[in-house]
Structure 1
Amino acid sequence: MTGLVVRVDDAGLSESVNESIREALRGPAARSVSLMVPAPAAAHAARILKPLPAVVRGLHVTLTSEWEQYRWRPVLSARAVPSLVDTDGFLPRTAEELHRRGGVDPREARAEIEAQLLRAREWGFDVRYVDEHMGVGWVRGAGEAIRAVAAAHGLIDADRTVPPLDGPPNEVPNTDRPGAWLPDAVRKAGPGPRVLITHPGRDDGDLRALRGIGFRDGGVGALRDADRRMLADHALWTDVRAAGADLTDYVALAAAF
C-alpha cells in the first residue's frame, strides 16, 4: 500500500488560485495545503482555507519570487535579511541565484522563516508542517534554517520526510483527462509514503499573464487548470485507490511511523 499525500501548493499566489485551492480541498483527494506567506493574496488564502475541516496546513517556506512582473518581498525588512533579497529588495527569482551569491545567512533565513510562520499563525492558520517553495532547501544556509525552524516549533519537515511520486515531466498534460497516469505511478511506487504535489488554478487572465522560468509562453494557466480538474475527478481517485493508494496526510503519516 502506498500512503499518498496529495498536497496543494502556492496558496496566496492570487485570490483566483486560492478559490481553486479551496475547491480542491473540498474534493476527493487533497487534504494538505501549503501557504506562501509573502505572496500578495496570502491573507485571503488563510481566511478562506482556515474553516475547512480535515485539512492539514503547512508553511510553504518562500525565499524566492520567480515571476518576471509579479514579485514579492520577505516578511522582514530588506535591512534585516540582506542575504535574502536582490538589489530591489525582492526575494531573488531562483534558488540558483541565491546559490551563485554564496547561499544565504542561516540566521537571516531562520528569522525570515519564523516571521512567515508567525504571520501565518496570526492569521489563524494552524501550521503543522513546512515545505520548500521552488525546492530552495539545497541552497547553503537555507536547508539548515528550515530544519532548525521545524525542530524548534515541532513541525514536520515535509520535503525531507516524504519522497515525491514519480510522474510525467512538468509540461502541459493531456487535457482530456489530467492525471490519467496516476494509477500506474502508484502501482510502480509500491509500499511506503509518497507525495503528489499539485498547483490548482484556473486558466484565467491572471495566470496566463505570468511569465517566468520554464513558462515563457504563458502556459501556467493551462497547467494549473489541469491540476484543478484532476483534483476534482472522483472516478480518477477511485482508480488511484484501487491501484493501491491510501490517501493520507503528513500528520497521519507521522503518527503511523
Structure 2
Amino acid sequence: MSASQVILLASLGLAPAASPAREGGEIRLLVRADDLGVAQAVNEASIRCCTEGIARSVEVIVPGPWFLDAVRLLQEHPGIDVGVHLTLTSEWERVKWRPMTHAPSLVDADGYFHPTTAQRPGFPPGTGFLEAGPDPAEVERELRAQIEAARRHLGDRVTHLSAHMGTAVAAPELRAVVDRLADEYGLPIAFPGLRDAGSFGPVEATAEQRERRLVELIEGLGPGSWLLIEHPALDTPEMRRFGHVGYENVAEHRAAVTAAFTSPEVLRAVERAGVRLISYAELVGGD
C-alpha cells in the first residue's frame, strides 16, 4: 500500500479502509525519489531510500552539478530503476544549473535555466520560463541531449521520462516535443492507470509527523496502482544553502522525507497492509 494513496483518500474526505488488502485486488505503490544530480545530499539520501526504504524509482536531473556522482552511485546499485527528469528550470536562488546545449531562449542573463515554469508572485520579474518565449527547437535539442547523456552513462537502466516541475509539458507545443522524444526513445512519460496519491504532510512537518502521516496513509490505501513522489535529501551544510522565496527550510524538510521513507515503522506498515512496492520498470515491462 502506498503512502500516496492514503493522501488521496484524505483529500477526498474518505475514511481509510481498515483492511484494504481484504477488499480484493492488489495494492501496488510506486514510490519515486526525485532530483538526483543536484546535490550530494540528494544523491546519498535517494539511494538510501531505495536500498533501506520504500522508494523503487529515482529521477535524474542530467544537467545537475552532481549528475556524475549520481551515475556512480547508481552503478553501485544496479537494481534501482531510473528515469530522466527532463529539466528546463533551475529553481534555487544560490544553486544553479545550465543547459547542456546552446539554447539562448531557455536561459536567463547569466546563462542559467529560469527558476520557475511561469512567473510567480513574489519572484523577481523575468524569472518565468514560459514568459521568456522558449524556442521548441531548442527545447527539443536540449531534452534530447539530456536523454542521450543518461542513456550513455546508464544504458537500459533508464526506463521512462518525467518532467522536472512539470515544465517540459507545461504548454501544448512543449508536450508535443516530449511525446515525440518519448516515442523515439521508447521511454514513456504517461502511465494510464497509475493514480497520483498526493503528499504526506506540509513542508514544515517534522520527521516524526511525516512518519506518522505516511503510516496512516499506507494503512488506508485500497486496491490499485498508486504513485507517491517526493524529494529525499540529508540535512547537510550544502543542502542548507538550497531555498527560494516561500521555501527556505529545504534541508530540514527533505531530511524529514528521507527519515519517513526509511522508517522501520513505515516498512512495517507496508507489510501489514499487503502493499507491493513497484517501479516504473515493472509498468514498462507490463507486470
Cα deviations by residue, 1:172-220 (Å, 9 ceiling, x for unpaired):
22332533223443455533222111211111111112121431xx300
CA gap of 1:10–1:154, structure 2 versus 1, over 3 A, is same
| Residues 199, 229 of structure 2: 8 Å contact kept | no
**Counterpart in the other structure of 1:35:** 60
Determine the C-alpha separation between the residues in 2 that align with 1:144 and 1:161.
21
- Alignment of structure 1 residues 184-223 onto 2, 5 Å: 184-186=216-218, 189-215=221-247, 218-223=248-253
Q: Distance in 1 between matches of 2:79 and 2:201?
A: 30
CA distance in 2, matches of 1:138, 1:172: 27
Which one of the candidate residues 118, 143, 147 is aligned to 2:175?
143
Single out whichever of 181-190 and 243-252 deviates more from structure 2: 181-190
| CA spacing shift, 1:92–1:212, aligned 2, 3 Å | same
Displacement after TM superposition at 1:245 (Å): 2.6
> Closer, same or farther in 2 for the Cα pair 1:48/1:184, shift >3 Å?
same
TM-score by length of 2: 0.80
The residue type paired with residue 45 of structure 1 is A
Structure 1 residues 56 and 88 mapped into 2: Cα distance closer, same or farther (>3 Å)? Answer: same
Residue 61 of structure 1 is matched in structure 2 by: 86
Q: Which one-letter code corresponds to 1:84 in the other structure?
A: L
Q: Which residue of 2 aligns with 1:255?
A: 285
- 1:64-103 map, 5 Å: 64-77=89-102, 81-96=103-118, 97-102=128-133
Identity over aligned pairs, percent: 31
Return closer, same or farther for 1:183/1:256 CA change in 2, 3 Å cut-off. farther
- 1:108 aligned residue: 138
Q: Please say if residues 206 and 253 of structure 2, whose CA atoms lie closer than 8 Å, have aligned partners that are also in contact.
A: no
| Counterpart position of 2:186 | 154
Summarize the Cα distance change of 1:124–1:151 in structure 2 as closer, same or farther, 3 Å threshold.
same
Per chain length, whose mean CA-contact separation is higher, i.e. which structure has more relative contact order (CA < 8 Å, sep 6+)?
2
Q: Choose from 205, 208, 224 the match for 2:254.
A: 224
- Equivalent position amino acid for 1:157 in 2: I
Unaligned ranges ≥5, structure 2: 1-25, 119-127
1:239 — aligned with what? 269
Alpha carbon RMSD of aligned pairs, Å? 2.2
Unaligned 5+ segments in structure 1 are: none
Equivalent residues, number = 251
Secondary structure of 1:141's aligned partner: helix
Distance 2:184 2:207 in 1: 43
Q: Of the candidates 16, 19, 23, which is equivalent to residue 44 of structure 2?
A: 19
Distance across 1 between alignment mates of 2:62 and 2:201: 27
Structure 1 residue runs of 4 or more that deviate by more than 6 Å after TM superposition: none
Deviation at 1:248, TM superposition (A): 0.4
Corresponding position of 1:180: 212
Q: Distance in 1 between matches of 2:234 and 2:219?
A: 30
Offset of residue 143 of structure 1: 2.0
| 1:163 match: secondary structure | strand
Deviations, residues 5-34 of structure 1 (Å, cap 9, x unaligned): 111111011122212222222113111011
User: Looking at CA atoms only, which structure, 1 or 2, has the larger radius of gyration?
Assistant: 2
